[in-house]
């Protein structure tokens, strides 16, 4: 019984170490190849409730080590029937994330804070639609590794069905984010005092952001090889305990 207990204790410890390393590897602001879309006050102004259009489309996600995330999306979809009528959307969300032992990553947005700006110039008479947005996102798995070509950290997210998303690259560590608290909880949050307080938090977040000096190091991030050897080690420990009992 003691040996069995030790085996399960070892399994729990290994799972905890892997989970901590995964959170550490996620820490930072990530952006796609266009390098124009970043989370933080440069994308969304919660005081004036303005989404700011970047010069090029792209995605950006930020993660803190204590379980908060932020998302900035700028997507443009072409119109094959009329090239003059592309559809563009800007999306902002933030909230908390859950990381399960199997590597599944779930983003739980703060419902009242999400915003979307949809532009469909050939159907909206030149007036874009601004609305609240709330969408829980589930990623089946993710990998953090060093890109061999660019020599920078790369984040590969996999959607719920296992499909890989566009890879993202580390841009800031610590992350460039807006305050992690609820930004616009109710209609009353638009009062002058609330706005001044929120503006100071946004300014502070902007002043505290730092561009990362990412260096290619094989001992500071999690990849598939790490899990492979950790799994083999756990199996080996279990086999040893079984043989000596």
**CA separation for the pair 202, 180 (Å, rounded):** 10
For the stretch 44-64, pLDDT in tens is 999 889 999 999 999 999 999
Domain boundaries, the chain: 28-217
Q: Above pLDDT 70, what percent of the chain?
A: 67
Is pTM, for the whole model, over 0.75? no
Could you please report the per-residue DSSP string of 220-234?
Answer: SS--HHHHHHHHHHH
Which has more confidence, 76 or 201?
76
For the stretch 5-56, pLDDT in tens is 443 343 333 334 344 577 789 999 999 999 999 999 999 999 889 999 999 9
**CA separation for the pair 97, 63 (Å, rounded):** 8
For the stretch 163-215, pLDDT in tens is 999 999 999 999 999 999 999 875 544 445 555 566 666 655 555 444 444 43
For the chain, the helix, strand and coil percentages under 3-state DSSP, each to the nearest 5: 25, 30, 40
Helix (H, G, I), strand (E, B) or coil at 206: helix
């Amino acid at each position: 019984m003691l040996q069995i207990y030790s085996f399960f204790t070892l399994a729990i410890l290994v799972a905890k170490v892997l989970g901590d390393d995964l959170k550490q590897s996620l820490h930072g602001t990530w952006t796609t190849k266009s390098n124009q879309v970043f989370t933080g006050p440069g994308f969304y102004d919660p005081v004036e409730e303005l989404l700011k259009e970047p010069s090029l489309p792209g995605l950006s996600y930020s993660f803190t080590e204590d379980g908060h995330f932020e998302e900035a999306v700028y997507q443009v979809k072409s119109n094959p029937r009329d090239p003059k009528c592309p559809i563009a959307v800007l999306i902002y969300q933030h909230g908390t994330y859950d990381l399960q032992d199997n590597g599944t990553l779930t983003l739980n947005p703060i419902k009242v804070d999400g915003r979307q700006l949809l532009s469909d110039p050939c159907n909206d008479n030149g007036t874009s639609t601004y609305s609240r947005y709330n969408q829980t996102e589930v990623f089946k798995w993710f990998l953090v590794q060093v890109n061999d070509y660019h020599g920078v950290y790369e984040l590969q997210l996999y959607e719920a069905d296992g499909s890989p998303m566009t890879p993202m690259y580390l841009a800031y560590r610590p992350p460039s984010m807006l305050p992690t608290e609820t930004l616009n909880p109710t209609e009353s949050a638009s009062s002058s005092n609330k706005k001044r307080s929120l503006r100071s938090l946004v300014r502070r977040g902007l002043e505290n952001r730092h561009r990362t000096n990412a260096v290619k190091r094989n001992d500071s991030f999690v990849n598939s090889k790490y899990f492979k050897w950790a799994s083999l080690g756990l199996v080996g420990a279990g086999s040893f305990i079984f043989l000596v009992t």
